[in-house]
Structure formats: C-alpha cells, structure tokens
Amino acid sequence: MNDRGTSRHSDITLLFFSAGGVRFAVDADQVTRSVTISVEPNDGVPRLLTLMGCDDRLIDHHNSIMLNVKSNDSKPYRIIVDVLEDMAEISTAHIHPFPPLVESFALQRGMWGVIERDGGLVLLLDFERLMGNKGHETAHDGGA
C-alpha cells in the first residue's frame, strides 16, 4: 500500500500457452496474432523450447501454434508453441521473482517471473529478452 491507502500493484494481461508440457505466459501486448499450423521439422521457424536452449526433437509439433511477436525493430518474430490455453488479466501482486540462485539462468532464457495458476506454476516470458539473447534471424517474419 502507498501513503494514500491504495495498492501499488497493477494488472497485466497475459497470454497463456504451453510448449513441451511446460506452461508459460507472456504479456499479451507482445503478440500480434496466432495461427494454427502444421509444422515441418526444418521450416525455419524456431520452436520456443529450442530458443530457450532445450532439446525438443521428440515433441510432435504438428498442429502447433505460430505466434507473431512484436519486436523493438520493425519486423515481428515468429515462434512456435504447442497449445494456446487462455488470456487473462492478472494482478502483478501475484507475480513472484525467481530466487537469486536461479535468477541469472532464468533471465538468460527470457524468463522473468512465475505465478501459481490452476494448481501449477506458470513461467513468465519476455519474448524480446529471449530473442535479444539468442539473436535468431530465422525468427523474423520477413515481412509476410
């Protein structure tokens, strides 16, 4: 609470999705659109878990979701996730930072916080941080 008795916390609209059975959310303002697609193994569009440094070769990406993600430069990025779950407004009071022991590791992979939802944990991502750390030119939309 501040000196006027009102909360300093605001709300953020999050887009919830999963990749490889892991639940994630991103600020909905970072995503311009989503499209259900049939993904070919070498189509040039990066998968979220690959961008985060995880091996996702055993995951079936057919009928995945391609997210167009805003970026600080003029071209949006494209990223593949498995399932869109929901979009919801969440109070920032419910967002927890990562413990110091893993914070650096998490930030390098684009994660900036965690929330509890539906009895499980949801990792909060910042796509711009993730893409900036990885520098994947293949993720650019190419003006399409």
pLDDT score recorded for residue 34: 86
Highest mean pLDDT among 24-28, 50-54, 65-69, 127-131: 24-28
Residue 46 has pLDDT above 80, yes or no: no
The three-state secondary structure class of 15 is: strand
Residue 109: closest CA among 124, 122, 120, 94:
124
Task: Give the tens place of pLDDT for each residue, 123-139.
Answer: 999 988 888 755 444 45
Bridge pairing between strands 120-125 and 22-27: parallel
Residue 44: closest CA among 78, 82, 81, 83:
78
pLDDT score recorded for residue 132: 77
Tokens linked to 82:
């498995």
pTM of the model: 0.77
Tokens linked to 13:
């609209």
Task: Give the tens place of pLDDT for each residue, 63-110.
Answer: 688 888 887 776 778 888 888 899 999 999 999 999 999 999 898 888
Whether the CB-CB separation of 15 and 23 falls below 8 Å is answered with no
Residue 2 has pLDDT above 60, yes or no: no
- Domain extents in the chain: 11-139
CATH architecture of 11-139: Roll (2.30)
Residue 126: closest CA among 18, 12, 27:
27
User: Residue-wise over 21-55: b if at least 16 C-beta within 10 A, else e?
Assistant: ebbbbbbeebbeeeeebebeeeeebbbbbbbbeee
Tokens linked to 80:
């593949």
